[in-house]
Amino acid sequence: MRIETLAVHAGLRIDATTGAVAPPLHTATTFEHAPDSTYPRGFLYSRTANPNRNALEECLAELESGAAAAAFASASAATAAVFQALAPRDHVVAPLDAYFGTGKLLRDVFAPWGLAVDFVDMTDPAAVKAALRPATKVVWIETPSNPLWRVTDIAAVAALAHGAGARCVCDNTAATSVLQRPLALGADLVVYATTKYLGGHGDVTGGAVVAGRRDTFFERIRAIQISAGAIPSPFDCWLVRRGLRTLPWRMRAHSDNALRVATFLAAHPRVEAVHYPGLASHPEHAVAKRQMSGFGGMLSVQVNGGRDAAFAVEGKVRLFTCATSFGGTESLLEHRASVEGAATRSPDNLLRLSIGLEHPDDLIDDLAQALG
Ligand SMILES: *Cc1c(COP(=O)(O)O)cnc(C)c1O
């Protein structure tokens, strides 16, 4: 079935006892067993499995054409579960340009724990190849990457990883399974912040790991999910599953709006640079066109005049809200360097824009008046 249909139906059934069409919220922590201590209905204790989490995981796996999915309390917990499934002294190749929290987690938590990590420019296959070692177990990619929206050639990096006996894990948060299919391009696992587009309404924090194969590595991630217990609540799962119903249609609208805004900004005299994979000026536009069916709702803009000029725009926007995160219906804007602090690689005059589902002309009018 096609993705729009899966987004509406996957993992959901009419409730057998009430006929409820929308899925009931199951807050029970424990489930009745049979007198012989078996669980004929499949549920034992809510950390182990819960009907709302099962529905979400089934849907996430189907949307990705994957074999299985594990939902977590945040993408950071999902990311940590992948690294916890490795062993001390294993080696990870990770992107220089990636979600700030992923690099921080590797440096602050997993390097002291014993993982060896090299950060490389994932847009340069020669640099990826040079970083691979016999101990390399995971090559982590994130594309388009946050906050410069650089594009990694998933098929090329996955082939390099496999050639070295490593797995390729792709953080697909910015593109989603609607616009980009990492498993089909060779990735082994896909990671999501469901906090962003999958939840889609800025009202739930969550993460997920989706696996192409139900192999021993995924079983380890599943065991970490259950034993370490960084699970999403039933209501979190319910909210993400609800958000997923409209994901394909939202991603198309986010992409259309963002291309309109990016095109406007690229022609504006107060703008130094626009970073959006859908623009012909983007350094990996050709790769993006090949591996994405749309370019997503995220873009960054560097304004003329440095940090103060960026702050001036923040002070003048009316429709955009100055806030972190992305993927909701409302447009957001933030000065990424301020959020990331001293270790940031984000340029001082850069503003990151999450283009929402407002009318694009209203967004353009707001940016026009704010840029002055
Ligand atoms: C937001 C984000 C994360 C972290 O998500 P949390 O749910 O806040 O842990 C990871 N990767 C990417 C690409 C993100 O945008």
Contact between 192 and 208 under an 8 Å Cβ cutoff? The reply is yes
Q: Which of 74, 76, 142, 233 to mutate to test the pocket of ligand 1 (most atoms within 8 A of CB)?
A: 76
Contact between 97 and 145 under an 8 Å Cβ cutoff? The reply is yes
Partners of 368 in the beta sheet? none
Could you tell me which of 102, 103, 253, 82 has the C-alpha nearest to residue 176? 253
DSSP state of 270: T
Q: Which atom of ligand 1 is nearest to the CA of 195?
A: 7
52: Cβ below 6 Å to ligand 1? no
Does position 344 have pLDDT exceeding 90, yes or no?
no
Supply the residue whose CA is at minimum distance from atom 2 of ligand 1: 193
Partners of 209 in the beta sheet? 70, 191
Is 31 buried (19+), middle (13-18) or exposed (0-12) by CB count in 10 A?
middle
Say how many Å lie between the CA of residue 99 and the centre of ligand 1: 7
Could you tell me which of 140, 149, 134 has the C-alpha nearest to residue 120? 140
Could you tell me which of 254, 294, 302 has the C-alpha nearest to residue 277? 294
197: Cβ below 6 Å to ligand 1? no
Q: Residue 213 catalytic?
A: no
Does position 363 have pLDDT exceeding 90, yes or no?
yes
Q: Residue 133 catalytic?
A: no
Q: Residue 307 catalytic?
A: no
Q: Which of 105, 145, 173 to mutate to test the pocket of ligand 1 (most atoms within 8 A of CB)?
A: 173
Q: Which residues in the chain belong to E strands, given as ranges?
A: 68-72, 91-95, 116-120, 136-142, 167-171, 189-193, 207-211, 271-275, 298-303, 321-322, 332-335, 350-354
Q: Are strands 167-171 and 136-142 parallel, antiparallel or unpaired?
A: parallel
pLDDT band for position 343 (50/70/90)?
confident
Give the model's pLDDT for residue 341.
87
DSSP labels, 149-185: -----HHHHHHHHHHTT-EEEEE-TTTHHHH--TTTT
* Catalytic residue selected from 137, 150, 167, 196: 196
Q: Which two tokens stand for residue 241?
A: 């599953």
Mean pLDDT, rounded, of the chain: 97
pLDDT band for position 117 (50/70/90)?
very high
Does position 340 have pLDDT exceeding 90, yes or no?
no
99: Cβ below 6 Å to ligand 1? yes
Say how many Å lie between the CA of residue 80 and the centre of ligand 1: 12
Which residues fall within 8 angstroms of residue 39, CB to CB, at 6 or more apart? Answer: 31, 33
* Catalytic residue selected from 90, 153, 171, 236: 171
* Catalytic residue selected from 53, 90, 97, 99: 99
205: Cβ below 6 Å to ligand 1? yes
Does position 339 have pLDDT exceeding 90, yes or no?
no
Does position 98 have pLDDT exceeding 90, yes or no?
no
74: Cβ below 6 Å to ligand 1? yes
- The rounded distance, in Å, linking the Cα atoms of 104 and 86 is 18
Does position 275 have pLDDT exceeding 90, yes or no?
yes
Q: Which atom of ligand 1 is nearest to the CA of 207?
A: 7
CA count, 13 A, side-chain hemisphere, 171: 33
Q: Residue 171 catalytic?
A: yes
Tens digits of per-residue pLDDT, 187-244?
A: 999 999 999 999 999 999 999 999 999 999 999 999 999 999 999 999 999 999 999 9
What is the rounded (10 degree) CA torsion for 69, 58, 327, 75?
-30
Say how many Å lie between the CA of residue 51 and the centre of ligand 1: 25
Tens digits of per-residue pLDDT, 288-317?
A: 999 999 999 999 999 999 999 999 999 999
What percent of the chain is predicted at pLDDT more than 90?
Answer: 97
- The rounded distance, in Å, linking the Cα atoms of 77 and 61 is 18
Domains of the chain, earliest start first: 3-244 (3.40.640.10), 247-371 (3.90.1150.10)
Say how many Å lie between the CA of residue 303 and the centre of ligand 1: 25
264: Cβ below 6 Å to ligand 1? no
Give the model's pLDDT for residue 227.
98
Say how many Å lie between the CA of residue 349 and the centre of ligand 1: 23
Instruction: Please provide the distance, in angstroms rounded to a whole number, between the alpha carbons at the two ends of the chain.
Output: 48
pTM > 0.95: yes or no: yes
- The rounded distance, in Å, linking the Cα atoms of 331 and 206 is 20
Say how many Å lie between the CA of residue 76 and the centre of ligand 1: 6
